[in-house]
Chain A
Protein backbone atom coordinates (compact mmCIF):
# COMPACT_ATOMS: atom_id res chain seq x y z
CA UNK A 1 0.00 0.00 0.00
CA UNK A 2 2.68 2.48 0.96
CA UNK A 3 5.40 2.59 -1.68
CA UNK A 4 8.46 4.49 -0.66
CA UNK A 5 8.65 6.92 2.17
CA UNK A 6 11.52 9.34 1.76
CA UNK A 7 12.65 11.37 -1.19
CA UNK A 8 11.69 10.96 -4.85
CA UNK A 9 14.03 11.31 -7.81
CA UNK A 10 12.92 14.91 -8.34
CA UNK A 11 13.87 15.74 -4.78
CA UNK A 12 10.31 15.82 -3.45
CA UNK A 13 9.71 14.74 0.08
CA UNK A 14 7.08 12.10 0.84
CA UNK A 15 5.63 12.22 4.34
CA UNK A 16 2.92 10.41 6.24
CA UNK A 17 0.23 12.27 8.13
CA UNK A 18 -1.78 10.12 10.50
CA UNK A 19 -3.40 7.74 11.19
CA UNK A 20 -3.77 9.43 14.55
CA UNK A 21 -6.94 10.23 16.42
CA UNK A 22 -7.89 13.06 16.83
CA UNK A 23 -5.20 14.84 14.81
CA UNK A 24 -6.56 13.68 11.46
CA UNK A 25 -10.15 13.54 12.77
CA UNK A 26 -9.94 9.80 13.19
CA UNK A 27 -7.72 7.20 11.62
CA UNK A 28 -7.16 8.89 8.28
CA UNK A 29 -3.77 8.25 6.70
CA UNK A 30 -2.51 10.76 4.15
CA UNK A 31 0.64 10.27 2.10
CA UNK A 32 1.71 13.73 1.04
CA UNK A 33 4.24 14.59 -1.64
CA UNK A 34 5.92 17.88 -0.79
CA UNK A 35 8.12 20.24 -2.71
CA UNK A 36 9.61 22.28 0.09
CA UNK A 37 6.49 23.27 2.00
CA UNK A 38 4.20 23.18 -1.02
CA UNK A 39 1.87 20.24 -1.52
CA UNK A 40 2.20 18.44 -4.86
CA UNK A 41 -0.11 15.53 -4.18
CA UNK A 42 -2.20 14.03 -1.39
CA UNK A 43 -3.04 10.36 -1.41
CA UNK A 44 -5.53 9.22 1.22
CA UNK A 45 -5.05 5.64 2.43
CA UNK A 46 -8.25 4.34 3.90
CA UNK A 47 -9.41 1.22 5.64
CA UNK A 48 -8.09 1.52 9.18
CA UNK A 49 -11.65 1.39 10.50
CA UNK A 50 -13.25 -0.55 7.66
CA UNK A 51 -15.83 -2.96 9.03
CA UNK A 52 -17.56 -3.86 5.78
CA UNK A 53 -20.90 -2.64 7.03
CA UNK A 54 -22.42 -3.21 3.59
CA UNK A 55 -21.57 -6.92 3.69
CA UNK A 56 -22.77 -7.25 7.28
CA UNK A 57 -26.10 -5.68 6.37
CA UNK A 58 -26.70 -8.43 3.82
CA UNK A 59 -27.24 -10.88 6.66
CA UNK A 60 -29.15 -8.55 8.98
CA UNK A 61 -32.90 -8.04 8.96
CA UNK A 62 -34.54 -4.74 8.08
CA UNK A 63 -34.89 -3.93 11.77
CA UNK A 64 -31.33 -4.82 12.62
CA UNK A 65 -29.35 -3.18 9.83
CA UNK A 66 -30.27 0.30 11.04
CA UNK A 67 -28.13 -0.18 14.13
CA UNK A 68 -24.94 -0.54 12.12
CA UNK A 69 -25.49 2.87 10.56
CA UNK A 70 -25.12 4.63 13.90
CA UNK A 71 -21.52 3.47 13.74
CA UNK A 72 -20.84 5.08 10.37
CA UNK A 73 -21.08 8.80 10.91
CA UNK A 74 -21.27 8.71 14.69
CA UNK A 75 -21.83 12.48 14.92
CA UNK A 76 -25.00 12.24 12.82
CA UNK A 77 -26.22 8.87 14.00
CA UNK A 78 -29.83 10.05 14.31
CA UNK A 79 -29.85 11.21 10.74
CA UNK A 80 -28.26 7.98 9.45
CA UNK A 81 -30.94 5.99 11.29
CA UNK A 82 -33.54 8.32 9.85
CA UNK A 83 -32.44 7.62 6.27
CA UNK A 84 -32.58 3.87 6.78
CA UNK A 85 -35.91 3.94 8.61
CA UNK A 86 -37.32 6.05 5.79
CA UNK A 87 -36.14 3.51 3.25
CA UNK A 88 -37.97 0.67 4.99
CA UNK A 89 -41.08 2.85 5.32
CA UNK A 90 -40.91 3.74 1.64
CA UNK A 91 -40.59 0.10 0.61
CA UNK A 92 -43.39 -1.14 2.85
CA UNK A 93 -45.54 1.98 2.55
CA UNK A 94 -45.72 2.56 6.27
CA UNK A 95 -47.18 5.90 7.28
CA UNK A 96 -45.33 7.60 10.10
CA UNK A 97 -47.54 9.33 12.72
CA UNK A 98 -47.20 13.15 12.86
CA UNK A 99 -45.85 13.04 16.39
CA UNK A 100 -43.01 10.74 15.33
CA UNK A 101 -42.22 12.97 12.35
CA UNK A 102 -41.82 16.03 14.54
CA UNK A 103 -39.73 14.16 17.10
CA UNK A 104 -37.53 12.88 14.30
CA UNK A 105 -36.93 16.34 12.86
CA UNK A 106 -36.16 17.76 16.30
CA UNK A 107 -33.68 14.98 16.99
CA UNK A 108 -32.06 15.48 13.58
CA UNK A 109 -31.63 19.19 14.16
CA UNK A 110 -30.28 18.69 17.69
CA UNK A 111 -27.77 16.28 16.17
CA UNK A 112 -26.84 18.79 13.50
CA UNK A 113 -26.24 21.48 16.11
CA UNK A 114 -24.15 19.11 18.26
CA UNK A 115 -22.13 18.04 15.23
CA UNK A 116 -21.50 21.58 13.98
CA UNK A 117 -20.63 22.81 17.46
CA UNK A 118 -18.13 20.01 17.94
CA UNK A 119 -16.72 20.70 14.48
CA UNK A 120 -16.31 24.36 15.41
CA UNK A 121 -14.18 23.40 18.40
CA UNK A 122 -12.17 20.84 16.45
CA UNK A 123 -11.57 23.24 13.57
CA UNK A 124 -10.22 25.90 15.92
CA UNK A 125 -8.09 23.29 17.67
CA UNK A 126 -6.64 22.19 14.31
CA UNK A 127 -5.45 25.73 13.87
CA UNK A 128 -3.89 25.89 17.32
CA UNK A 129 -6.65 27.39 19.45
CA UNK A 130 -7.28 25.10 22.41
CA UNK A 131 -9.94 27.07 24.30
CA UNK A 132 -12.85 26.85 21.82
CA UNK A 133 -12.80 23.07 22.13
CA UNK A 134 -13.93 23.29 25.74
CA UNK A 135 -16.61 25.83 24.93
CA UNK A 136 -17.89 23.51 22.21
CA UNK A 137 -18.01 20.51 24.52
CA UNK A 138 -19.97 22.47 27.11
CA UNK A 139 -22.86 22.98 24.68
CA UNK A 140 -22.56 19.53 23.13
CA UNK A 141 -22.80 18.02 26.59
CA UNK A 142 -26.22 19.62 27.12
CA UNK A 143 -27.48 18.15 23.85
CA UNK A 144 -26.07 14.75 24.76
CA UNK A 145 -27.96 14.96 28.05
CA UNK A 146 -31.20 15.41 26.13
CA UNK A 147 -30.31 12.39 23.99
CA UNK A 148 -29.45 10.31 27.02
CA UNK A 149 -32.74 11.07 28.71
CA UNK A 150 -34.93 10.31 25.71
CA UNK A 151 -32.94 7.73 23.72
CA UNK A 152 -30.96 6.07 26.47
CA UNK A 153 -27.64 6.62 24.75
CA UNK A 154 -25.30 9.51 24.20
CA UNK A 155 -23.62 8.64 20.92
CA UNK A 156 -25.12 5.69 19.06
CA UNK A 157 -28.73 6.47 19.74
CA UNK A 158 -30.58 3.93 17.54
CA UNK A 159 -33.74 5.85 18.36
CA UNK A 160 -35.37 5.99 14.96
CA UNK A 161 -36.93 2.71 13.91
CA UNK A 162 -39.16 1.74 10.96
CA UNK A 163 -42.56 3.27 11.66
CA UNK A 164 -41.50 6.04 14.00
CA UNK A 165 -39.28 6.33 17.03
CA UNK A 166 -38.34 3.73 19.62
CA UNK A 167 -39.97 5.37 22.64
CA UNK A 168 -41.89 8.50 23.49
CA UNK A 169 -39.99 11.62 24.50
CA UNK A 170 -39.03 12.14 28.11
CA UNK A 171 -41.30 14.58 30.04
CA UNK A 172 -38.32 16.91 30.44
CA UNK A 173 -37.60 17.00 26.70
CA UNK A 174 -39.35 20.25 25.78
CA UNK A 175 -37.99 22.13 28.75
CA UNK A 176 -34.48 20.97 28.02
CA UNK A 177 -34.69 21.90 24.36
CA UNK A 178 -35.83 25.38 25.36
CA UNK A 179 -32.89 25.58 27.74
CA UNK A 180 -30.40 24.64 25.06
CA UNK A 181 -31.89 27.19 22.66
CA UNK A 182 -31.50 29.87 25.32
CA UNK A 183 -27.97 28.73 26.05
CA UNK A 184 -26.99 28.77 22.37
CA UNK A 185 -28.38 32.28 21.86
CA UNK A 186 -26.20 33.40 24.74
CA UNK A 187 -23.08 31.53 23.66
CA UNK A 188 -23.07 31.85 19.86
CA UNK A 189 -21.99 35.52 19.95
CA UNK A 190 -19.20 34.32 22.22
CA UNK A 191 -18.18 31.78 19.56
CA UNK A 192 -18.07 34.57 17.00
CA UNK A 193 -15.98 36.74 19.27
CA UNK A 194 -13.53 33.94 19.92
CA UNK A 195 -13.04 32.61 16.41
CA UNK A 196 -15.15 34.12 13.62
CA UNK A 197 -13.73 37.61 13.82
CA UNK A 198 -10.30 36.50 14.97
CA UNK A 199 -7.61 38.02 12.76
CA UNK A 200 -5.28 35.03 12.99
CA UNK A 201 -8.08 32.63 12.16
CA UNK A 202 -9.17 34.72 9.18
CA UNK A 203 -5.62 35.00 7.87
CA UNK A 204 -5.23 31.24 8.03
CA UNK A 205 -8.51 30.39 6.34
CA UNK A 206 -9.44 33.12 3.86
CA UNK A 207 -8.57 32.37 0.24
CA UNK A 208 -7.33 28.89 1.10
CA UNK A 209 -8.67 25.59 -0.22
CA UNK A 210 -10.52 26.97 -3.20
CA UNK A 211 -13.05 24.68 -4.87
CA UNK A 212 -15.23 26.06 -7.66
CA UNK A 213 -18.91 25.30 -8.02
CA UNK A 214 -18.32 23.05 -11.06
CA UNK A 215 -15.56 21.11 -9.31
CA UNK A 216 -17.65 20.69 -6.18
CA UNK A 217 -20.46 19.12 -8.20
CA UNK A 218 -18.07 16.98 -10.25
CA UNK A 219 -16.35 15.64 -7.13
CA UNK A 220 -19.72 14.94 -5.54
CA UNK A 221 -19.03 17.27 -2.62
CA UNK A 222 -22.23 17.87 -0.66
CA UNK A 223 -23.40 19.48 2.53
CA UNK A 224 -22.02 22.69 4.00
CA UNK A 225 -18.74 22.16 2.13
CA UNK A 226 -20.54 22.40 -1.22
CA UNK A 227 -22.92 25.15 -0.13
CA UNK A 228 -19.88 27.33 0.57
CA UNK A 229 -19.16 27.07 -3.16
CA UNK A 230 -22.68 28.12 -4.08
CA UNK A 231 -24.03 24.64 -4.87
CA UNK A 232 -27.63 24.39 -3.79
CA UNK A 233 -27.68 20.84 -2.46
CA UNK A 234 -29.69 20.81 0.76
CA UNK A 235 -31.80 17.65 0.56
CA UNK A 236 -34.17 19.14 3.14
CA UNK A 237 -35.06 21.81 0.58
CA UNK A 238 -34.67 19.93 -2.71
CA UNK A 239 -36.38 16.66 -1.81
CA UNK A 240 -38.21 17.46 1.43
CA UNK A 241 -38.95 14.55 3.71
CA UNK A 242 -40.81 14.12 7.00
CA UNK A 243 -42.48 17.54 6.82
CA UNK A 244 -39.44 19.76 6.27
CA UNK A 245 -41.48 21.48 3.55
CA UNK A 246 -43.77 22.98 6.22
CA UNK A 247 -40.93 24.62 8.12
CA UNK A 248 -39.35 28.00 7.57
CA UNK A 249 -35.61 27.90 7.25
CA UNK A 250 -33.05 29.11 4.76
CA UNK A 251 -30.54 27.15 2.77
CA UNK A 252 -27.28 28.89 3.64
CA UNK A 253 -25.25 29.61 0.51
CA UNK A 254 -21.90 31.31 0.13
CA UNK A 255 -19.91 31.92 -3.02
CA UNK A 256 -16.39 32.55 -1.78
CA UNK A 257 -15.51 28.85 -2.17
CA UNK A 258 -12.73 28.98 0.45
CA UNK A 259 -12.12 27.53 3.89
CA UNK A 260 -13.50 30.59 5.66
CA UNK A 261 -16.80 30.48 3.80
CA UNK A 262 -17.17 26.78 4.67
CA UNK A 263 -16.71 27.90 8.26
CA UNK A 264 -19.34 30.63 7.93
CA UNK A 265 -21.89 28.31 6.33
CA UNK A 266 -21.73 25.91 9.29
CA UNK A 267 -21.99 28.74 11.81
CA UNK A 268 -25.11 30.05 10.05
CA UNK A 269 -26.58 26.56 9.79
CA UNK A 270 -26.51 26.25 13.56
CA UNK A 271 -28.81 29.28 13.68
CA UNK A 272 -31.13 27.80 11.05
CA UNK A 273 -31.37 24.59 13.06
CA UNK A 274 -32.20 26.59 16.17
CA UNK A 275 -34.98 28.31 14.25
CA UNK A 276 -36.40 24.90 13.23
CA UNK A 277 -36.32 23.76 16.85
CA UNK A 278 -38.11 26.92 17.95
CA UNK A 279 -40.88 26.31 15.44
CA UNK A 280 -41.43 22.77 16.65
CA UNK A 281 -40.74 22.69 20.36
CA UNK A 282 -44.20 23.85 21.39
CA UNK A 283 -45.98 22.20 18.49
CA UNK A 284 -45.34 18.51 19.01
CA UNK A 285 -48.66 16.90 18.04
CA UNK A 286 -50.32 14.39 20.34
CA UNK A 287 -50.72 10.80 19.23
CA UNK A 288 -48.70 7.69 18.61
CA UNK A 289 -44.94 7.81 18.44
CA UNK A 290 -44.75 4.67 16.33
CA UNK A 291 -46.92 3.19 13.61
CA UNK A 292 -48.04 -0.41 14.01
CA UNK A 293 -45.74 -2.63 11.98
CA UNK A 294 -45.45 -6.36 11.45
CA UNK A 295 -42.97 -8.25 13.59
CA UNK A 296 -41.03 -9.42 10.52
CA UNK A 297 -40.41 -6.80 7.90
CA UNK A 298 -40.19 -7.84 4.26
CA UNK A 299 -39.45 -5.36 1.51
CA UNK A 300 -41.05 -6.11 -1.87
CA UNK A 301 -38.76 -7.12 -4.74
CA UNK A 302 -37.16 -4.09 -6.30
CA UNK A 303 -34.79 -1.24 -5.68
CA UNK A 304 -35.13 1.59 -3.21
CA UNK A 305 -33.15 4.74 -2.69
CA UNK A 306 -33.56 7.40 -0.04
CA UNK A 307 -31.43 10.39 0.76
CA UNK A 308 -31.18 12.55 3.83
CA UNK A 309 -29.17 15.61 4.74
CA UNK A 310 -26.70 14.71 7.47
CA UNK A 311 -24.46 17.25 9.15
CA UNK A 312 -21.80 16.46 6.53
CA UNK A 313 -23.89 16.25 3.39
CA UNK A 314 -26.02 13.87 1.43
CA UNK A 315 -26.35 10.33 2.72
CA UNK A 316 -27.85 7.98 0.16
CA UNK A 317 -29.15 4.53 1.09
CA UNK A 318 -29.55 2.16 -1.85
CA UNK A 319 -31.16 -1.20 -1.25
CA UNK A 320 -31.73 -4.01 -3.72
CA UNK A 321 -34.39 -6.34 -2.38
CA UNK A 322 -35.25 -9.84 -3.53
CA UNK A 323 -38.41 -9.86 -1.45
CA UNK A 324 -36.84 -11.53 1.58
CA UNK A 325 -36.26 -10.46 5.14
CA UNK A 326 -32.70 -9.25 4.51
CA UNK A 327 -31.41 -6.86 1.86
CA UNK A 328 -29.79 -8.51 -1.17
CA UNK A 329 -27.35 -5.65 -1.59
CA UNK A 330 -27.05 -2.41 0.30
CA UNK A 331 -24.92 0.59 -0.50
CA UNK A 332 -24.37 3.66 1.63
CA UNK A 333 -23.40 6.68 -0.37
CA UNK A 334 -21.61 8.43 2.44
CA UNK A 335 -20.98 12.17 2.24
CA UNK A 336 -17.49 11.96 3.75
CA UNK A 337 -16.21 9.60 1.07
CA UNK A 338 -16.94 12.01 -1.77
CA UNK A 339 -15.87 15.07 0.21
CA UNK A 340 -12.51 13.46 0.93
CA UNK A 341 -11.90 12.77 -2.76
CA UNK A 342 -11.76 16.52 -3.36
CA UNK A 343 -9.04 17.07 -0.74
CA UNK A 344 -6.19 16.35 -3.17
CA UNK A 345 -7.45 18.85 -5.72
CA UNK A 346 -8.13 21.53 -3.09
CA UNK A 347 -4.73 21.25 -1.43
CA UNK A 348 -2.43 21.15 -4.44
CA UNK A 349 -0.17 24.18 -4.50
CA UNK A 350 -1.02 25.08 -0.90
CA UNK A 351 1.31 24.98 2.08
CA UNK A 352 1.32 21.93 4.33
CA UNK A 353 0.15 23.98 7.31
CA UNK A 354 -2.89 25.09 5.34
CA UNK A 355 -3.77 21.51 4.48
CA UNK A 356 -4.81 21.06 8.12
CA UNK A 357 -7.22 23.96 7.79
CA UNK A 358 -8.64 22.63 4.53
CA UNK A 359 -9.10 19.14 5.95
CA UNK A 360 -10.75 20.60 9.04
CA UNK A 361 -13.17 22.61 6.95
CA UNK A 362 -14.36 19.47 5.14
CA UNK A 363 -15.52 18.06 8.49
CA UNK A 364 -14.41 14.49 7.84
CA UNK A 365 -15.57 11.63 10.02
CA UNK A 366 -13.49 8.59 9.17
CA UNK A 367 -15.88 5.73 10.08
CA UNK A 368 -18.28 7.37 7.63
CA UNK A 369 -15.66 7.17 4.88
CA UNK A 370 -14.43 3.63 5.56
CA UNK A 371 -17.81 2.14 6.49
Chain B
Protein backbone atom coordinates (compact mmCIF):
# COMPACT_ATOMS: atom_id res chain seq x y z
CA UNK B 1 0.00 0.00 0.00
CA UNK B 2 1.14 3.54 -0.61
CA UNK B 3 1.46 5.99 2.24
CA UNK B 4 -1.84 7.75 1.44
CA UNK B 5 -3.72 4.47 1.23
CA UNK B 6 -2.26 3.42 4.56
CA UNK B 7 -3.34 6.64 6.25
CA UNK B 8 -6.84 6.36 4.73
CA UNK B 9 -7.22 2.75 5.78
CA UNK B 10 -6.09 3.45 9.33
CA UNK B 11 -8.24 6.54 9.81
CA UNK B 12 -11.30 4.46 8.88
CA UNK B 13 -10.36 1.96 11.60
CA UNK B 14 -9.51 4.66 14.14
CA UNK B 15 -11.08 8.02 13.21
CA UNK B 16 -9.24 10.16 15.78
CA UNK B 17 -5.75 9.44 14.46
CA UNK B 18 -3.71 12.57 13.80
CA UNK B 19 -1.29 12.36 10.85
CA UNK B 20 1.96 14.29 11.12
CA UNK B 21 3.77 15.65 8.09
CA UNK B 22 7.41 14.95 7.37
CA UNK B 23 9.53 11.83 7.55
CA UNK B 24 9.81 9.19 4.86
CA UNK B 25 7.06 7.00 6.35
CA UNK B 26 3.52 7.97 7.45
CA UNK B 27 3.50 9.24 11.03
CA UNK B 28 0.28 8.86 13.03
CA UNK B 29 -0.56 9.95 16.55
CA UNK B 30 -2.86 7.71 18.56
CA UNK B 31 -4.46 8.21 21.97
CA UNK B 32 -2.90 5.86 24.50
CA UNK B 33 -6.35 4.41 25.28
CA UNK B 34 -6.95 3.49 21.62
CA UNK B 35 -3.55 1.91 21.10
CA UNK B 36 -4.41 -1.75 21.96
CA UNK B 37 -7.27 -1.81 19.46
CA UNK B 38 -5.18 -0.18 16.73
CA UNK B 39 -2.25 -2.51 17.41
CA UNK B 40 -4.51 -5.55 16.99
CA UNK B 41 -5.77 -4.19 13.65
CA UNK B 42 -2.26 -3.34 12.44
CA UNK B 43 -0.99 -6.83 13.16
CA UNK B 44 -3.90 -9.05 12.20
CA UNK B 45 -5.72 -7.30 9.35
CA UNK B 46 -4.63 -9.06 6.16
CA UNK B 47 -4.05 -5.99 4.01
CA UNK B 48 -2.02 -4.27 6.75
CA UNK B 49 -0.15 -7.23 8.29
CA UNK B 50 2.48 -5.29 10.21
CA UNK B 51 4.23 -8.32 11.69
CA UNK B 52 7.63 -6.80 12.37
CA UNK B 53 8.11 -4.19 15.09
CA UNK B 54 11.62 -3.05 14.25
CA UNK B 55 12.05 -0.18 16.65
CA UNK B 56 10.30 0.81 19.86
CA UNK B 57 11.45 3.85 21.75
CA UNK B 58 10.43 6.98 23.59
CA UNK B 59 11.30 10.67 23.27
CA UNK B 60 11.16 13.18 26.13
CA UNK B 61 9.71 16.46 24.85
CA UNK B 62 9.94 18.13 28.29
CA UNK B 63 6.17 18.82 28.30
CA UNK B 64 5.22 15.24 27.55
CA UNK B 65 6.72 11.88 26.60
CA UNK B 66 6.13 10.42 23.16
CA UNK B 67 6.20 6.69 22.48
CA UNK B 68 7.41 5.80 18.98
CA UNK B 69 6.66 2.47 17.32
CA UNK B 70 8.28 1.68 13.94
CA UNK B 71 6.38 -1.09 12.20
CA UNK B 72 7.02 -2.95 9.01
CA UNK B 73 5.33 -5.73 7.10
CA UNK B 74 7.47 -8.59 5.84
CA UNK B 75 4.70 -9.50 3.40
CA UNK B 76 3.67 -6.16 1.89
CA UNK B 77 6.96 -4.35 2.64
CA UNK B 78 5.31 -1.16 3.84
CA UNK B 79 6.36 0.81 6.90
CA UNK B 80 4.53 3.01 9.36
CA UNK B 81 5.37 5.01 12.47
CA UNK B 82 2.83 5.17 15.28
CA UNK B 83 3.32 7.68 18.08
CA UNK B 84 1.48 8.28 21.29
CA UNK B 85 1.73 11.25 23.64
CA UNK B 86 1.93 10.34 27.30
CA UNK B 87 1.53 12.40 30.43
CA UNK B 88 4.99 13.09 31.83
CA UNK B 89 3.89 12.80 35.47
CA UNK B 90 2.12 9.46 35.09
CA UNK B 91 3.07 7.86 31.76
CA UNK B 92 1.04 4.73 31.11
CA UNK B 93 0.32 2.73 27.99
CA UNK B 94 -0.83 -0.79 27.25
CA UNK B 95 1.93 -3.28 26.46
CA UNK B 96 2.13 -4.81 22.97
CA UNK B 97 4.42 -7.71 23.85
CA UNK B 98 1.57 -10.18 23.36
CA UNK B 99 1.35 -9.02 19.73
CA UNK B 100 5.03 -8.47 18.93
CA UNK B 101 7.24 -10.54 21.23
CA UNK B 102 10.25 -8.29 20.68
CA UNK B 103 8.41 -5.55 22.59
CA UNK B 104 9.00 -7.33 25.90
CA UNK B 105 12.68 -6.36 26.08
CA UNK B 106 12.26 -3.00 24.39
CA UNK B 107 9.48 -2.01 26.79
CA UNK B 108 11.58 -3.01 29.77
CA UNK B 109 14.32 -0.76 28.45
CA UNK B 110 11.94 2.19 27.99
CA UNK B 111 10.48 1.50 31.45
CA UNK B 112 13.81 1.93 33.22
CA UNK B 113 15.22 4.73 31.10
CA UNK B 114 12.05 6.85 30.75
CA UNK B 115 9.77 5.57 33.52
CA UNK B 116 6.90 4.62 31.23
CA UNK B 117 4.58 2.12 32.89
CA UNK B 118 3.49 -0.60 30.47
CA UNK B 119 0.17 -1.97 31.66
CA UNK B 120 -0.18 -5.75 31.74
CA UNK B 121 3.45 -6.32 30.84
CA UNK B 122 4.29 -9.84 32.11
CA UNK B 123 7.66 -9.00 33.63
CA UNK B 124 8.20 -5.26 34.02
CA UNK B 125 11.56 -4.98 35.80
CA UNK B 126 14.77 -3.09 35.22
CA UNK B 127 16.84 -4.67 32.46
CA UNK B 128 20.10 -2.76 32.15
CA UNK B 129 20.36 -0.59 35.28
CA UNK B 130 20.84 -1.91 38.82
CA UNK B 131 17.64 -2.45 40.79
CA UNK B 132 18.26 0.43 43.18
CA UNK B 133 18.84 3.06 40.50
CA UNK B 134 16.94 6.28 41.14
CA UNK B 135 15.62 8.41 38.28
CA UNK B 136 15.15 7.92 34.58
CA UNK B 137 18.47 8.61 32.81
CA UNK B 138 17.21 9.35 29.30
CA UNK B 139 14.80 12.04 30.47
CA UNK B 140 16.00 15.54 29.68
CA UNK B 141 15.94 16.79 33.28
CA UNK B 142 17.96 13.88 34.67
CA UNK B 143 20.94 15.00 36.72
CA UNK B 144 23.71 12.82 38.06
CA UNK B 145 26.63 14.84 39.44
CA UNK B 146 28.84 11.77 39.90
CA UNK B 147 28.45 9.75 36.74
CA UNK B 148 27.61 12.42 34.20
CA UNK B 149 30.23 14.53 32.49
CA UNK B 150 28.83 17.66 30.92
CA UNK B 151 30.50 18.66 27.68
Contact = CB atoms under 8 A, between A and B. Distances in A.
Contact of A320 (B59, B70, B74, B137): B59
Interface residues of A, number: 38
Interface string A302-319: 110101000000101010
A50 interface: yes
A54 B138 contact: yes
Contacts of A232: 74
B23 A302 contact: yes
A341 B105 contact: yes
Interface string B10-54: 000000000000111101000000000000000000000001111
A333 B55 contact: yes
B102 A220 contact: yes
Interface in A27-57: 46-47, 50, 52, 54-55
Nearest to B74: A217
Contacts, number: 84
Nearest to B133: A47
Contact of B52 (A50, A220, A305, A340): A220
Interface of A: 1, 46-47, 50, 52, 54-55, 59-60, 214-215, 217-220, 231-233, 238, 302-303, 305, 307, 314, 316, 318, 320, 328-329, 331, 333, 337-338, 340-342, 345, 370
A329 B52 contact: no
Interface residues of B, number: 34
Given A1-B126, A54-B138, A316-B70, A303 B23 contact: yes
Given A50-B129, A331-B55, 8 more contacts: A46-B127, A220-B52, A220-B54, A305-B24, A305-B55, A307-B54, A314-B54, A329-B59
A363 B51 CA distance: 24
- Judged by DSSP, the binding face of A is mixed
A219 B57 CA distance: 16
A132 to B, nearest CB: 32
A55 B130 CA distance: 17
A328 B27 CA distance: 18
A47 B74 contact: no
7 contacts: A218-B101, A220-B53, A316-B54, A318-B57, A318-B68, A337-B105, A338-B105
